[in-house]
Structure 1
Amino acid sequence: MKKIIVALDGLKLSDSSIQTAIQLSKQHQAHLVGVFLDDFTRNSFDVAQALQQNNMQAMIEKDQHLRDTAVKLFEEQCQAQKLNYTVRRDKNFAIQDLLRESIYADLLVISADETFTRFPEEPPTRFIRDLLADVQCPVLISPLRAQPLDKVVMLYDGAPSSVFAIKMFTSVLSITRLLPTEVITVKGPEDDSHLPENKLMKEFMRRHSPDAVFTVLKGEPEQAILDKLKAENESTLIVLGAYQRGTVSRWFRSSMADLLLRQLKCPLFIAHNK
């Protein structure tokens, strides 16, 4: 039985993350762990303002009630689906707790707009970027609106990292082999139209997604992939490796995952080998 964890903020509960995690757990008969990151530094209110208005205790109690209600809602939905589930409430720094949890999970589900602060951010949020840099298991970034998956697109450039992401996907979410699958590669205008390591890659895919189709695009990779994926609907799951560069270089060149998070509303399955 696989173990799927879903990262949740009880003060800003993500219904799409819960629904996505429940759907995948039910399909794969997985054990679902709701990880509520009750970070002691996380409040829904402005602390300085609460002190000034002398209602700090009332605001703390309100936050506690919100968090307790969120846990109850999660439990009720898991029980309604007859899932094998656990609730864990981690109370230290959110990013550190979640990274530790990821060591012992097969898959982590988290919303694209998760910040674990009271301030909204456009994807990719700082929290998501920090998480993807050091996470120890594959991550499924859920869209803002959950819906059943109807297609899988795998990004493949011939590098071991892209093959590793596909391996992890076919291992962790094996049920999705039944979905229509497309493998996308980008090559230069003067290059041939064959996949990198064409024979080996097609041999590998026949064992995991025997009906997969292969598409070779021409042009600059980021733009060619983005143009292609913009034609997909929001129920297409995109599989890719990410964050292969060191911390310093990521400041100067965005990951493909960053680009897709900014431009698309599709769910992303991201895995990288360190």
Structure 2
Amino acid sequence: MKKILLVCDPDHYPHGPLEFVKGIREHEPVFVKGVFFGAVNAADLNAEKDAPEVYEVLLKKRKETEGKNVERFINQCKNGGIRYRSIEKDCFSRNEDFWMKETRYADLMIISLQLLSSGAGSSSPGVHAEQLLRWSDCPVLIVPEAVYHPERIIAAYDGTDESMHAIIQFCKTLPLFQSLPAEFVYIKNENNDRIPNQELLQEYINAHFENAAVLKLHWEPGRLLTRWMECHRNPLLITGAFGRSALSNLLHKSFAELIVSKTGCFVFIAR
């Protein structure tokens, strides 16, 4: 059995991610903890200061929405035969201490692409979402809202311990996807086909994946990765810890574009 954290705020109910969890449930038992956050934005704070009666109306509507989301979550879990628990927190609980404790006692955290993209600029995810990726002490899976199942695995490999750790952690966390076609991609703009520890990498992926290939792309890592990913239907990208590994720092801009793009890409981020 796996314990999964599912993140929700009043404006982004994670219907798609919970349907994704139902797919996991078909392969192994799961326990899902829904973490529901209240949201306070600048308009709310201005209303509280300048028009208290308007603020009270806004607050009432938000609480009604939050209650409906929790009820919807419970019903969706019951219909899918999923063990569950829901907790409700105010927006001010969204801090590093809370998330590090919660994720330390979980196997996987799932965030919807829609929630991650909310408030994003043209080239980077929202500040709170990016902080959440950095604070997590367990792997994170970003799931698009309208696509419930990936069709191909793509692993970003750079020969470092961090990138190999991400691949191993994915295999342990989501073994149900090892039957999908998989590509392990080394990106470096140089005039040779050398890949660090290629033989050992090939041995490992052959032991875990039914249809896997290792390839080298002779590009600058930050330029064409997103466009190349868009050529694949419903891919799941495996990458190292956000903001910690050399690979994720190297791909930071491309990674950010990827998760807020319209490609519907799943992203697995190792802790």
TM-score tier (shorter): 0.7 to 0.9
Q: TM-score, normalised to structure 2's length?
A: 0.85
CA distance in 1, matches of 2:57, 2:3: 37
Question: Which residue identity is paired with 1:152?
Answer: I
**Residue 109 (structure 2) aligns with:** 108
Q: Rate the CA distance shift 1:48–1:222 in 2: closer, same or farther, 3 A.
A: closer
CA distance in 1, matches of 2:30, 2:251: 36
CA distance in 2, matches of 1:180, 1:115: 27
Number of aligned residue pairs: 262
Residue 229 of structure 1: CA displacement?
A: 1.1
Q: TM-score, normalised to structure 1's length?
A: 0.84
Q: Rate the CA distance shift 1:128–1:4 in 2: closer, same or farther, 3 A.
A: same
Matching of residue 271 in structure 1 with residue 249 in structure 2: no
**Residue 24 (structure 2) aligns with:** 24
Deviations 1:55-78 (A, max 9, x none): 333332222111111000011011
Residue 199 of structure 1: CA displacement?
A: 1.3
Q: Rate the CA distance shift 1:59–1:81 in 2: closer, same or farther, 3 A.
A: same
Matching of residue 138 in structure 1 with residue 136 in structure 2: no
Matching of residue 58 in structure 1 with residue 57 in structure 2: yes
**Residue 237 (structure 2) aligns with:** 238
Residue 115 of structure 1: CA displacement?
A: 6.2
CA distance in 1, matches of 2:116, 2:142: 13
Alpha carbon RMSD of aligned pairs, Å? 2.6
**Residue 90 (structure 1) aligns with:** 89
**Residue 212 (structure 2) aligns with:** 212
**Residue 127 (structure 2) aligns with:** 126
Q: Rate the CA distance shift 1:86–1:14 in 2: closer, same or farther, 3 A.
A: same
CA distance in 2, matches of 1:253, 1:202: 23
SS at match of 1:133: helix
Contact 1:28 1:175 in 2 (8 A): no
Question: For 1:163-202, what aligned pairs fall within 5 Å after superposition?
Answer: 163-191=164-192, 193-202=193-202
Contact 1:153 1:181 in 2 (8 A): yes
Q: Rate the CA distance shift 1:146–1:99 in 2: closer, same or farther, 3 A.
A: farther
Question: Which residue identity is paired with 1:90?
Answer: K
Unaligned runs of 5+ in 2: none
Q: Rate the CA distance shift 1:269–1:100 in 2: closer, same or farther, 3 A.
A: same
Unaligned runs of 5+ in 1: none
SS at match of 1:28: coil
CA distance in 2, matches of 1:198, 1:211: 16
CA distance in 1, matches of 2:189, 2:137: 33
CA distance in 2, matches of 1:127, 1:72: 25
CA distance in 1, matches of 2:57, 2:181: 52
Q: Counting helix residues as a fraction of each chain, which structure ranks higher?
A: 2
Deviations 1:24-78 (A, max 9, x none): 3443322111111236xx2695233355262333332222111111000011011
Flag as ranges the 4+ runs of structure 1 deviating above 4 A.
Answer: none
Report which stretch shifted further, 175-184 or 252-261: 252-261
**Residue 48 (structure 1) aligns with:** 46
Question: Which residue identity is paired with 2:136?
Answer: V
**Residue 221 (structure 1) aligns with:** 221
Deviations 1:85-134 (A, max 9, x none): 11122334224333331111111001234269xx7334512122111222
CA distance in 2, matches of 1:43, 1:258: 23
Q: Rate the CA distance shift 1:62–1:68 in 2: closer, same or farther, 3 A.
A: same
Q: Rate the CA distance shift 1:176–1:145 in 2: closer, same or farther, 3 A.
A: same
Contact 2:24 2:176 in 1 (8 A): no
Matching of residue 10 in structure 1 with residue 30 in structure 2: no
CA distance in 1, matches of 2:190, 2:136: 36
Residue 210 of structure 1: CA displacement?
A: 4.1
**Residue 80 (structure 1) aligns with:** 79
